[in-house]
Amino acid sequence: MYDTMVTVVGNVATSVDYRETVTGGVAKFRFAATARRWDRERAAWVDGHTSFYTVSAWRSLGANLAASVSVGDPLVIHGRLRVREEDRDGQRRTFVDIDASAAGHDLSRGTSAFRRVMKGEPRPADRPEAASDPAPEPDAARDPDRAAGGGGDGAGAAGRPAELVS
């Protein structure tokens, strides 16, 4: 196992394209990561070069990304780096891809509401209401922390605030 693993922080640049394949569903989208540095002369942050990656996410990660991510969302992507070269229009071009093994919203730039997908439940990409309706509050039958009374003191599992426990 000599794959190059990377973690990249950036923004979703294109809409997520989700497709079912013989080996399982796959989500693909372009991801932009812009370097920033502090410019002492200007006393301000300055944007550097922007790198673009094609991100692929398979199976449940792909379905969950398709249901959860929109263009412009700040994400943290972790996965295998793949560099490939192709001849297009008579020119040699280099493409950089990431096969994602984990992804999530960058919570240093906003908030997010996590919703666990239960086994046997339709995948988020299969539910027509996934794109328009907010996630419903989990009920006591599906949430063992709330069923055991773990919300009355303001703390859920592992001492986290109840609103962060899904």
Residues 6+ apart with CB under 8 A from 107: none
pLDDT at position 126: 56
Average pLDDT value for residue range 7-21: 96
* pLDDT tens per residue across span 38-66: 999 999 999 999 999 999 999 999 999 99
Instruction: Tell me if the pTM is above 0.95.
Output: no
Residues whose CB is less than 8 angstroms from the CB of residue 86 and which lie 6 or more positions away in sequence, other chains included: 92, 93, 95
Encode pLDDT of 111-130 as tens digits. Answer: 999 999 887 666 555 555 54
The predicted pLDDT at position 118 comes to: 80
Report the C-alpha gap between 79 and 63 in whole angstroms: 16
Is a pLDDT exceeding 90 seen at residue 162? no
CA 133 and chain centroid, separation: 19
Residue 128's pLDDT is 52
